[in-house]
Amino acid sequence: SQTIHQWPATLVQPVGSPLSLECTVEGTSNPNLYWYRQAAGRGLQLLFYSVGIGQISSEVPQNLSASRPQDRQFILSSKKLLLSDSGFYLCAWSFNTEAFFGQGTRLTVV
Amino acid sequence: KNEVEQSPQNLTAQEGEFITINCSYSVGISALHWLQQHPGGGIVSLFMLSSGKKKHGRLIATINIQEKHSSLHITASHPRDSAVYICAVADIYGGSQGNLIFGKGTKLSVKP
């Protein structure tokens, strides 16, 4: 069965520190993978999506980057976090009309 | 681009009440998802709909493709149902290869 793992669940990081959030999937190959962010009072917004290894598309300009080093691994990164990067980050993958979601990461930048 | 609107934004109910949360979208979709987000932040997928109606326990989800509208119903609500309920659509016109468009969520509080 298809599963998706995302970690950590919560993270508190100082301004200017780096960030690495990891997402891995099981039970599928060549999935479409997505990173979303939910800022306070807003809905989840697409940050990045990937249709294959090394293929990353960005939807909004930001202080973040994404990488897909392996077929079932999707990483969200930042070299230097800003206060505005605080929020809830969600990894997801889709197959046809089905979608599967990670547990999410609550990031607080202090 | 698809716009997803949920109503109400906030909902307070007494235990045992029947609850309805609504979701409307603006253009054609291939599927609609109802998600539950608990206070700790974790996301749980409740339903995926492309037509008709689905039921799981006390939860019922319906979709009307012609009216571009879906509802999530909770029967005999319980305090443990307190969470944010999110509607998301898989946009058939989406350029992002199956990207989901999310509503802002409905925050439900069920009082004992």
Of A69, A63, A72, A75, which is closest to residue A25 (Cα–Cα)? A72
Nearest to A43 among B40, B97, B102 (CB): B102
Convert the pLDDT of each residue in B24-71 to its tens digit: 998 778 789 999 988 776 788 899 998 999 999 999 999 999 999 999
Q: Which of A2, A23, A36, A38 to mutate to test the interface with B (most CBs of B within 10 A)?
A: A38
Q: What is the pLDDT of residue B93?
A: 59
Could you say which DSSP state residue A84 is in? G
The chain A residue lying nearest B95, using CA atoms, is: A59
Q: According to the model, what pLDDT value does residue B98 have?
A: 63
The answer to whether the CB atoms of B40 and A9 lie below 8 A apart is yes
Q: Are A4 and A99 in contact (CB under 8 A)?
A: no
β pairing state of B43-49 and B83-91? unpaired
Question: Do B62 and B52 meet the contact criterion of CB atoms below 8 Å apart?
Answer: yes
pLDDT at A28: 81
- What pLDDT is attached to residue B41? 66
Distance in angstroms (rounded) separating the CA atoms of residues B28 and B48: 15
